[in-house]
Chain A
Amino acid sequence: MRQPRLREVKAVSSGHAAGGQLGRNSNPRLPASPSDPRILAASLRAAVGTPRAGFGFPGGCPGSRGLSWAHAIMLARGLSRGWRGICAAALTGAPFSQVPSQAPRGLHCSVAAPSSGSSLVPRPPEPPRQLAKPPAPHEELFRLAPGGARDRASFVQAVQNFGQHNVHKRGHVDFIYLALRKMRDYGVERDLAVYNLLLDVFPKEVFLPRNVFQKIFIHYPRQQECGLAVLEQMESHGVMPNKETEFLLLQIFGRKSYPMLKFVRMKLWFTRFKNVNPFPVPRDLPTDPVDLATLGLRRIEPDLSAKVTIYQMASSRDSTGTADPTEQHIVGIQSPGQQAALARHSPARPVFVEGPFSLWLRDKCVYYHILRADLEPPEEREVEEIPEEWNLYYPMQLDLKYGRSAWDDYEFDIDEVEEGPVFAICMAGAHDQATLAKWIQGLQETNPALAQIPVIFRLTASTGELLASSSGLEEPCPPPAQEEEEEEDKTQRQQQGQS
């Protein structure tokens, strides 16, 4: 068990690993400061890859020669002053109650010769360690008061509590990493003020390099990595830092530090890519499903003159609050062009209700159905003839051929995929045929021609998983054919019953 511990020592004592990563501006991979040996050991355990071997915490079991020798090495090569204090405390405390069963065996047999082979032999996987996880340091600050909720106020309170009880801000790096992990639970991951508050936890002006040697080497690498981690989380959530962040970073790390460099890069690239999305989705999506459906439909249908119709509101909202499976919201959209096309559609050819297809709005997925017809075969396509000169003000048809030669040809030499026309789109709470039949009935009010046209429902699996645009059509061909006929009869009967 000692060999891995030596490796740990070497890995820990070299700050070069940190330097290389900071220089590449990548994710800080080594975790918090070594002021907490538990975190260090856990991380190195992960880095070594074997969950059991190499768990050589020096304060595990006092009294054997091998332990004290390794312990002495650790003390001698300790990275920070706090290491010694913590080690001394841990020697007496022995916080690892789960270790002693393994540690003595390994320590005793590894004194004389390197018996690392036995410790590196892969052991059977241990049972899932839900209970055995050691609590992260400062986790008690995030413990909820009885009756308290996880919201911004309690998060801010926890951060402020850290400073109050700990004047010297011991373990601030661990605390900041922990707070970064907890942000999502408290729902403050996109709050710039909270990030600034978290950066405020760093002691000011302590980490500024003062002479040329400190400027050459990365001064206080763990703290710079921690600052980088805060900025990386801001970046991944799309939060733009402001002047206060800049001032804080200047005070804490100085102008030539890596967090400051990352801040400059964020300022540059965020402003460049702020409006790069031609179809922007608002940050705060509406929670009401009808509003969300309206937003989605407006996004799908590029025609601005299209009308959104709410055929049915989810009735459960008013009465009980629990989702009523029979009454789901149905919202549809149709543009005047589509209405005209549907009116022109010949009743001899059926229209299909296809779906559900998925649409993602930021991180919410909604499903929509479309009403479309198949492409008409070329021989049946009627060319619309515009009678000449019925409009005397301007010509209805322009046949301008300005002599474009081969060098003005911007067409691609490929036949584009042609698909049948889409007549209407809808988003409904449920994906079953009954709900969609209600949509069709609602459509019939504005499109009386729909009453004569047979409607076939081509619904793929409604489990909400991924659905390709037509994957459901090709595979189960024979069975739905019968279903389609039945549905066709049903809808025809419905239409006949209505009309």
Chain B
Amino acid sequence: MALVHKLLNGTYILSKCLKPSVASCPFLSTRFADYCSSSLQKPVATPGKASAQRNSAGGLQGDHQREVALDVTSPEEKPEVSFDKAIRDEIKEHFWRLKDEIVNHWIGPEGRPLQEVIMEQARVVWQFRGKEDLDKWIVTSDKTIGGRSEVFLKMGKNNQSALLYGTLSSAAPQDGENSQSGYCAMISRVPRGAFDRKKSYDWSQFNTLYLRVRGDGRPWMVNIREDTDFIQKSNQMYSYFMFTRGGPYWQEVKVTAQIPFSKFFFSNQGRIRDAQFQLLLDKISSIGFTLADKVDGPFFLEIDFIGVFADPAHTEEFAYENSPVLNPRLFK
């Protein structure tokens, strides 16, 4: 199962693939935590390291460690753990997914009729109406590098929104390596298909990101990562700012919570690069929100839903041009 997983993905460096320590067990239990997290909260210390090995953790956004601090749903019932049964269930589930995929391919892209997909002008990508919607997100903070920020994600009022809250602390960890610290992030999980294959979102017919959020006046950053098989591209992302107004009203006003994709600038390992190119929307892997505004204190962000739509009035392709001073090679 783990070998099939590795073969299908094929993104691993050969040495990592052949490491004997990366045995089938951690991978299985990793998937365990992924699917059964709502009912079974296992301490995922070692699988976390395995996943950190897989996704090279570099830069601020590169960490996909398992720091989901969800409320344990039912601490009283203790579901019995039986590995054989779990393995059998998982295999069945994967084959079911495979069957769904093949059948959906005949209906249309992602199981919806082609006519509907082509005519679509606005699509809701993530909504927060139940606990299972929270499972699609990972929350990280600078605790992974030794900082002291805390961040939690839970359902908001009446199960109608998600609330991301916590405390930001810019006290740098005294490890001689990091001189700055203080960030919190909420990143969406990479969508997986049958046998854990990576899937991506295709937003090529849309051109604006729409967020219905309610914040506390702090400036956030929206980061989008592309789906890539190249390891060298794993720390690249496209970012833009999301300024919250604060206050009791939902922020859906134009201009702000609508961010056209042309405004996203390219950055690698947390630094804006000189050579800028527009965000290509056909293979989007994940989206994330980061707070790192160097101000210590509590914060919260309430999210209603995240959608994409095609704004016909927005004709800009890319907002940043390259300068010949910084990129002489592009202008030869």
Contact = CB atoms under 8 A, between A and B. Distances in A.
Interface of A: 24-27, 29, 43, 46-47, 49, 236, 261, 264-265, 268-269, 272-273, 276-279, 281, 296, 299-302, 357-363, 365, 368, 370, 372, 406-414, 416-417, 419, 422, 425, 465-471, 473
29 contacts: A25-B271, A265-B326, A268-B323, A272-B320, A273-B241, A278-B243, A278-B255, A299-B247, A300-B248, A302-B245, A302-B249, A360-B217, A360-B218, A365-B298, A370-B248, A407-B119, A410-B309, A412-B123, A412-B309, A413-B123, A413-B124, A416-B252, A417-B160, A425-B248, A466-B167, A466-B300, A468-B165, A469-B300, A470-B156
A368 B245 CA distance: 14
B245 A300 contact: yes
Contact of B241 (A277, A299, A406): A277
Contact of B271 (A24, A372, A408): A24
Contacts of B310: 410
Given A47-B176, A265-B326, A409-B121, A360 B307 contact: no
A410 B122 contact: yes
B299 A469 contact: no
B176 A470 contact: no
A49 B176 contact: yes
Contacts of B250: 416-417, 419
Contacts, number: 145
A370 B156 CA distance: 18
Nearest to B157: A470
Given A299-B246, A358-B216, A468-B163, A417 B304 contact: yes
A411 B157 CA distance: 24
Nearest to A279: B245
A29 to B, nearest CB: 7
With a 10 A CB-CB cut-off, give which of A29, A265, A465 has the most chain B CB atoms: A265
Contacts of A299: 217, 245-247
Interface string B111-130: 00000000101111001000
Contacts of B326: 261, 264-265, 268
Contacts of A406: 119
Nearest to A474: B157
A408 B271 CA distance: 39
A42 B310 CA distance: 56
B295 A363 contact: yes
A26 B119 CA distance: 46
A360 B122 contact: no
Contact of A46 (B176, B217, B249, B299): B176
Contact of B295 (A26, A359, A362): A362
A414 B165 CA distance: 24
B83 to A, nearest CB: 37
B271 A26 contact: yes
A413 B248 contact: no
A300 B247 contact: yes
Contacts of A302: 245, 249, 253
* A-B pairs with lowest CB-CB distance, top 6: A466-B298, A46-B176, A300-B247, A470-B157, A360-B217, A359-B246
Nearest to A406: B119
B219 A277 contact: yes
Contacts of A43: 176
A414 B124 contact: yes
Contacts of A264: 325-326
Contact of B300 (A265, A272, A419, A468): A468
Interface string B194-219: 00000000000000001010101111
Contacts of B248: 300, 357, 370, 372, 422, 425, 469
B192 to A, nearest CB: 24
A29 B297 CA distance: 27
A410 B269 CA distance: 36
Contacts of A358: 216, 298-300
A444 B174 CA distance: 55
Given A372-B248, A466-B165, A407 B253 contact: no
B323 A361 contact: no
A101 B157 CA distance: 62
A277 B293 CA distance: 14
B122 A413 contact: yes
A469 B217 contact: no
Contacts of B252: 416
A468 B156 contact: yes
Nearest to B219: A277
Interface in B259-280: 269, 271-272, 274
Given A268-B326, A302-B253, A468-B156, A416 B245 contact: no
Contacts of A296: 246
B144 to A, nearest CB: 18
Contact of B179 (A27, A261, A365): A27
B105 interface: no
B146 interface: no
Contacts of B63: none
A469 B210 contact: no
A43 B177 CA distance: 10
Contacts of B119: 406-407, 409
Contacts of A416: 212, 250, 252, 304
Contacts of A425: 247-248
B268 to A, nearest CB: 9
Nearest to B298: A466
B186 to A, nearest CB: 15
A360 B176 contact: no
Contacts of B307: 412, 414
A329 B124 CA distance: 44
Interface in B272-326: 272, 274, 294-295, 297-300, 302, 304-305, 307, 309-310, 320, 323, 325-326
Given A407-B121, A410-B309, A411-B122, 8 more contacts: A46-B174, A47-B176, A47-B177, A357-B216, A358-B216, A359-B247, A361-B217, A469-B302
Contacts of B247: 299-301, 359, 368, 425
B274 A365 contact: no
Contact of B216 (A46, A360, A414): A360
A186 to B, nearest CB: 19
A153 to B, nearest CB: 27
A408 B156 CA distance: 32
B161 interface: yes
B121 A408 contact: yes
Nearest to A425: B248
Contacts of B160: 417
Interface in B148-204: 156-157, 160-161, 163, 165-167, 174-177, 179-180
B37 interface: no
A302 B247 CA distance: 10
B243 A277 contact: yes
B256 interface: yes
A256 B170 CA distance: 34
A408 B119 CA distance: 9
